[in-house]
Chains A and B, each alone.
Chain A
Amino acid sequence: EVQLVQSGAEVKKPGESLKISCKGSGYNFNLYWIAWVRQMPGKGLEWMGIIYPGDSDTRYSPSFQGQVTISADKSVSTAYLQWSSLKSSDTAMYYCAASVVITRFDYWGQGSLVTVSS
């Protein structure tokens, strides 16, 4: 059974750095795309970017290019979403999702809530 387990809720101050994780199990981690999706409070879903762990092919939505870094560590079957300097506008729920193709995402993590407040 494919499972994605995300890291827990985080409370950070503006300007701090953060790296959240998404651990895959039940499938060959190298062969599935992982996507990151943002959902701001009371708002809709936004694709942030995707990564193919097998060859580290990484693509970002224009709105998120340069704002976050997506990476993956095949040795621990885990994908990451990273910020170097958080803003209050980064407060949101972040979901990871996995699929063999980029045109649909069948499997979703439970979400990681990030709160950025001074």
Chain B
Amino acid sequence: QSALTQPASVSGSPGQSITISCTGTSSDVGGYNFVSWYQQHPGKAPKLIIYDVTKWPSGVSNRFSGSKSGNTASLTISGLQAEDEADYYCTSYTSNNTFGVFGGGTKLTVL
């Protein structure tokens, strides 16, 4: 089962916006509105920041936003802050195993 495709790394300066893409297939990203995004700081457990493509869990900043077009989902972080430096993973429901598949992860560097 193939992982979803994410860029290995992205970078941006404080205050800027960045977008991370997540490409799958019609069996996962394109077929369902069940894409989630997780943020993981070094040595910490992942944290849910977006679910069902565009929704925020309670307590998550609205500087994080999600979208989807066809087989590609995207996470946009606006007003970059130093604390946003972390690894970001997308995941989608997939009909292949009837629960989920992760992307390979993207390392965000705040310059």
Assess the A44–B97 pair: CB atoms within 8 A: no
B interface majority secondary structure: loop
Smallest CB separation, A35 vs chain B (Å): 8
Q: How far is the CA of A44 from the CA of B87 in the complex (A)?
A: 9
Instruction: Count chain B CB atoms within 10 A of each CB in A45, A46, A47 and give the residue with the most.
Output: A45
Closest chain-B Cβ to A39's Cβ sits at a distance in Å of 9
Q: Which of B38, B48, B51, B100 has the most CB of A within 10 A?
A: B100
Closest Cβ of chain B: how far from A109's Cβ, in Å? Answer: 7
Is B45 close to A, CB under 8 A?
yes
8 A Cβ contacts from B51-95 to A? 51-52, 57, 87, 89, 91, 93
How many chain-A residues does the 8 Å CB contact rule pick out?
24
Q: Does A108 contact B (CB under 8 A)?
A: yes
A106 lies within 8 A of chain B by Cβ: yes
Instruction: Given the known inter-chain contacts A44-B105, A47-B91, please indicate yes or no for A63 contacting B1, CB distance below 8 A.
Output: yes
Chain A residues with CB under 8 A of B91: 45, 47
A residues with a Cβ closer than 8 A to B are 35, 37, 44-47, 49-50, 59-63, 95, 97, 102-106, 108-111
